[in-house]
Structure 1
Amino acid sequence: MRILFSSTPAHGHLLPLVPLERAARRAGHVTAFLTHGSVADVVAPAEVLSAGATLGEALAEVHRRIGADASTDMSPATVAEFFGGVRIDLGADESLSAAAAFAPDLVIAEAADFLGPLVASSLGVPWVSHGVGIAIDAALADAVMVAAAQRMKERDIELSPPIAAVDPWPDTLQLETWEPSRDRIDIRPEAPEYEHDVPWTAPSFPGRAELPRVLVTLGTIVDEPGTLTAIIESLLEQDVNVVVAMHPASDPRDLTVDASRVHVTGFVPMRYLLDGVDVVVTSGGAGTVLSVLGAAVPMVILPLGLDKPLNAERAAAVGAAAVIHDPRQAGAAAVRVLGTPSFAVAASEMAGRIAAMKPADEVLALLLDRMA
């Protein structure tokens, strides 16, 4: 079988799909990703069918059209223009051509992507929606759907319904008003494995090995050097060791720190970074939250836009995170989390719930059964 995965060209949207793609290749299926070639390294060695605009180009086009910053503005009009409008306008023709050449039997599209559903509907093949985080507000979902459906209508394409909704977000982290769809299949969120992973050796802190270790990461979207510096300075007021994972586009050499207390690195897979870590300070991206909880590590969350405030609220609601609103509060909050056992207990309970979700191989089998 030929399975096409489709996603917005951003780490946080692509990475949740990778475990299912790996499972498909292990099972002998032919796979490819429909996204922009600039993020090919995120899904390597899977083939990439490059189509559409880069993330930066799409954001710039939204700003040109409506004057909004889609990287921070979660209003229905802005979200709809980005995902349902600009993404399709700048990528439909290339996507249709690339998908026709690949000839998929099944399309699996991340929930915010409509190029995948567009090509599936055009080709008459089944498609699956794959979540990347907490279920979005109904008003946002409706606004995006209306914009996308209009773009498809202009191309004489009628959007077909998905055959399933794959969801990596645990039930207990959803909003209290959330109800699962009848076609929902949960999938265990896992950090993807890469054939050419560079071995990661957790840093040593001579003479300080007995102290708690704090990981600081603002994820792959947020790049705010001033905020990162303020977090580090706040942590250095406490007796802890600090590991800092820089934004993928940043150079670790640009950050001047006390190397005896702070270790700075570029992009390293989260499953390695969490080795020996006692608490994580993060901006609250969905992928980071799920990875950290899956490793039974509590968090301090400084939510920085988009879905992050909601992710922070839900992680705090289950008792696994403290939420701050000023980077200068990071040190005191980390010490509070370290000194309050209930945070670690809650994180461990969430790790157990995540481990009980279906593995990717099982989910793939369920999808193929549903197709039949």
Structure 2
Amino acid sequence: METAESTVESPRHTTPATPPFPRIISVDDHTVEPPHVWRDRLPEKYRDRGPRIVRAPLREMTFLGGKFAPVMGEEGEEGPIGDWWVYEDLRRPLTRLDTAVGCSRDEIRLEVITYEQMRPGSHSVPERLADMDVNHVQSALCFPTFPRFCGQTFTEANDRDLGLACVRAYNDWMVEEWCGPAARGRLIPLTLIPLWDAELAAAEVRRNAARGVRAVAFSEIPPYLGLPSVHTGDWDPFLAACDETGTVVAMHIGSSSRMPSTSADAPPAVGSTITFANCCFSMVDWLMSGAFERFPGLRVMYAEGQIGWIPYVLERADVVWEENRAWGGVADKVHRPPSELFAEHVFGCFFDDAFGLRNLDAIGAGNVLYETDYPHSDSTWPKSREVGEAQMAHLAPDVVERIVRGNAIELLGLTRDGLWPGA
């Protein structure tokens, strides 16, 4: 006779519950700086010459061959109205590509916009935290917009004293306001350096490290900015400061002011498909530079570079190092296979890379970080959890935990709960 007790399924036949997807720590989001950043924080003598917002019409704008070329119209001139950053001779508009979340794909065009036309979370801390909640994101590290991804706007300017003041003002705003008490530790600071002077850069790294900052933006390919390559010793003061303070060198695609393209008339879709290419070139530079041997605590990360390309590049780099290092110019400075250096020093970041995740064993679960790219057009917001769940379904829960938050906690010096301790 069947009893109620006998119909209960035996625990040995119970399917284990799938662990909930971890709260995301995004290592590549973006802030659109509010108009007051430099107005409020620059020394008085610089405020009338520092970056400021002007509302003006657009005369024309193109984005071909990886080159962005906007032209601001005069007051009263016909044309779409947008908010423009004005700084020395630079006229840089806010565009829909700066902040596209909340728009349908068919509405995302290369056009100028005003602050009122963007999602408030792009530039306001309370609204940013709310949008992070919608997207299952606990914490986020944000790259700049107007300074560009490593502060090259100030590097290209004429007045270096003003440029240094602008870098410091941005860093103060980033640490004290964007990542300040209102963020409750959920926004992780990423600071800039004066790229034109490695000693000043080192001092700025140490100044910010003293208040808990553990990430600094840098160019993926400095010579594209007219700066020394990582093969020289010119960057050693800066790299020594990063090594000494545990500050990770964060390089975003486009941080060399030259997006990959194939011709001067190639449409943006060509460059968008091959955005990882500069990261690929940059990583080989670093692996063959000897920098990781000179600075054993140095770590670098590639934001928005994706990860699927990494296994072959490491395989090829190892072959070249093994077979060609004598005539290849690296025998005296790279003493271990590049893949070993990668495992200890390099981190790849992705937001949508099913192929890379299928080949994770060839990359290393400890070298991969997750991101959402809010508020850009590539962003997976508000479905970053769903994308992650689909693409990581084949991975063990502990591996998913490492990728989605554990590696970021270790790399960026966060609390065990994934928060920035300096807030």
Q: Normalization by structure 2: what TM-score?
A: 0.29
* Bigger helix fraction: 1
Q: Whose radius of gyration is greater, 1 or 2?
A: 2
Of structures 1 and 2, the one with the larger relative CO (CA 8 A, separation 6+) is: 2
